[in-house]
Structure 1
Amino acid sequence: MPELIDQSAPIRKSRGDGAVVRDLAQLQAAFANAILDPGMAVPSGLTGPDGRPGARRFAVYRNNVVAGLIETLKAAFPVTCRLVGDEFFAAMARVYVAGEPPRSPIMLDYGAGFSEFIAQFEPAAALPYLRDIARLERSWVEAYHAAEAIPLLPSALARVPPAELPSMRLLLHPSVRIVRSIFPIVAIWQINVDACGTREVNLADGSEDALVTRPDAEVEIRALPVGAAAFIEALLAGSPIVDAMKRGMSVGPCFDLACALTGLFEARAIIGFDRPSRRPGRDA
């Protein structure tokens, strides 16, 4: 592994601590930039154990870092990778890695902007739904690592006076994510998440919105009926049921409130409720 030396002239000169810190920061920045850019030379001041510039050792280190980040993306976006193939995905991911180095030591955070990158990646333009599949897979990762919470039983609402239901606010599971798309992304995801899937999806089938949850150990992805995505997004924003219903109806006049609520309970996505002028409640 290449070593950052502390014997370079700029750092050993007798100067204020601020200047030394700036020199070290510049050296570290040059190292970080060169790691992700194969066109850059070995940073000045970087040597191997023999005291000579460690070009070969640095190249090995660089390749290992880039390969590791590509594998991280591949693990987080397996369906995206399957849709384009390993070779294309590796090339696409390499471009992303070069422009978007990790900004946190927590690798769970890496790849948050990958779907937006795909949308601008011209070679992927032939698959216009690829960005939304990547968004769906990113939501899967976020849901998997979300906080735990106990789902609410449907019977909990039976004790709420009907007059209070419209103004209630539903509290949703921390793992809940909504992904909207003009493509049938749930169907595409379902047939590709299993390597043995052979059923074809017709893009002419139109839009499909997804509900992503993890009420227990496994992440679940469900297709939503028309208007349900807008309804759930309003609930996530803190809107009472009546206002969320209006959001759902604005998307589709045929929006069915009862169906949407039943779907949320079936997905075990509701963890509590807030009644007007009362403390938040729940029922185990």
Structure 2
Amino acid sequence: MNIKTLVVLCTALIGTTVLTGCQSTTSNNTTGNNRQQLLLIPNAQLNAEVAQEYKTLISQARQAKALNVPASYAKRVKTIFNRIVPHTTAFRQDGSSFNWEINVINTDEVNAWCAPGGKMVVYSGIIKQLNLTDDELAAIIGHEMAHALREHTREQMSQEMAKSEGLKWAGKLAGLNSDQMDLANLVSKYGFSLPFSRTMEKEADVIGLELMARAGYNPQAAVTLWEKMAKVSGEGSALEALTSTHPTNSARINEIKKRQDEVMPLYEASKSKKATGTKKGGKKR
């Protein structure tokens, strides 16, 4: 690699990294997830487009008789979700005013996701194949809701937009050929995009931990959840770990264990509040 190409690569990466520190979507939370973010794409436009796509997906699932079945799964998911939603205001004041919605789709897929604006799907396969407890399910739901609260999709799209434009103009100024531009894009991917994606996943893990604790679900279940996931997915090779957008299961478990002491008081307070709000026999005072 000649010096001209190296300068362009470094300039593009440094320039894009500097652009990431613009604002934070969350604040005032116990776990301190207030990293500055680059948000170029209009929030309302993205959420509206996603909501329409979500509506179509739910309609298709309903037509296929795969929506919110089994009913027992749907009931559990919605109960946990509804307990967590009010606690989103711990991260942002408008958290409870998101257009939060959750549905179960009956497939064997071991997955769940929350789209921008709060539209969420849990696939029945993840509940069945991992034999999830309510606390473990809360860890999943909290994690996915955290992505929406931090607007990670919007942030990633903004980063890719800035990175693409930065590389394009740097390449033109330096007169790079197509092979050199391909190299620049590859370095940018592994030096910038993937590490930031892993950062977002770590944020979602920790925010999800706080959300579930505030809602009265045991944060220790996040560890058993990822231990179950490790058995299903495995760790993969060193190369897969390098090129993955997600942290390894073992890295996730270690980080969650480190952060549990921060959120356990929230869990204990939630349990105490529930206990003092009831009499024997389960009747409220």
TM-score class, shorter: under 0.3
Structure with the largest fraction of helix: 2
Instruction: Report the TM-score, using the length of structure 2 for normalisation.
Output: 0.25
Structure with the largest fraction of strand: 1
